Amino acid sequence: MLTRFAPSPTGELHLGHAYSAVLAHEAARSAKGGFYIRIDDIDGNRSREDYVAASLADLGWLGIAWDGDPVRQSQRLDIYQAALDDLRARALVYPCFCTRADIAASLAAPHGPSGAIYPGTCRALPPAERDRRLADEPHAWRLDMARAVAVGSDLDWEESGQGLRRADPAAHGDVVLARKDAPASYHLASTLDDAEMGVTHVIRGADLIASTDVHRLLQALLGLPVPLYRHHMLVCGMDGKRLAKRDAAASLASLRAAGIDGLSLAAGLARGELPTGYSLQMP
């Protein structure tokens, strides 16, 4: 068994991250398996080195020990690029020149499980116009979902304790696989990394279960192994809402400053026990 915890260094870790990290760490260690840290720092505009250092210090405070050096997405751009080239050669992705404002302004933009469904404007660009704009306009790369689901079918995954689940990627529309400002999207980078790192059990918050629809499709398209998944409950604050990076009181740094013992906190989290005022809920 090999699990991982994959923080994005865009803020301080809070109790929700601690819960996720403890579950993944416990699962691996109780099976005498491996546990990796992956730093999801592909978003160069929002990722900060001081958050990387603070996150690792927080994990150490919780008594979490990881194998090897933390893996950095920012150092794996070649892997993402090669997969994108492969999908491009098979005409499963197309360049998209739309701005957020263009998409928001489209009357035909219903919402899917991961936000607005792309109305498909750039999917139908004439080849000559596409080539001309590719040369000098910033662009993202989108998955041509209709073509992709025709290639990858029977998309099941095993959700821990629940049996098989059927992925429904079509509901997401033409998702972005490489952004204008970053060489891969979360979907592409996370799926490739989990496969390449040999992760056998993806343990993460239930807020990401919809993303698994897309990840399962990418696994089929790119010939990647399918890990087992466990999407766990989310830690909510006093207001019943899931914690966000802005909830400073729940940050691990503030809990530590308040004199809480990290090892006892981690032991409690592993049993599903949270400090007073916090609860676990399904989104």
Write out the residues near ligand GLU by the rule CB under 6 A.
6-8, 40, 190, 204, 208
Please give the distance of CA 55 from its chain centroid, rounded to a whole number: 17
Q: What is the smallest separation between the CB atom of 143 and ligand GLU, expressed in angstroms?
A: 18
- Closer to ligand GLU at the Cβ: 145 or 191? 191
- Closer to ligand GLU at the Cβ: 26 or 40? 40
- Closer to ligand GLU at the Cβ: 37 or 87? 37
- Closer to ligand GLU at the Cβ: 139 or 204? 204
Q: What is the smallest separation between the CB atom of 156 and ligand GLU, expressed in angstroms?
A: 19
Give Dmax (Cα) for the chain.
Answer: 64
Torsion, CA 139, CA 144, CA 145, CA 147, rounded to 10: -170
Q: What is the smallest separation between the CB atom of 102 and ligand GLU, expressed in angstroms?
A: 27
Residues 6+ apart with CB under 8 A from 210: 113, 114, 172
Q: How many residues does the chain have?
A: 283
Please give the distance of CA 12 from its chain centroid, rounded to a whole number: 17
3-state SS class at 166: strand
- Closer to ligand GLU at the Cβ: 9 or 119? 9
Give the containing element (helix H, strand E) for 101.
Answer: helix 100-105
> Would you tell me how many other CB atoms lie within 10 Å of the CB of residue 228?
15
Q: What is the smallest separation between the CB atom of 80 and ligand GLU, expressed in angstroms?
A: 15
Pairing of strands 279-281, 176-178: unpaired
Q: What is the smallest separation between the CB atom of 204 and ligand GLU, expressed in angstroms?
A: 4
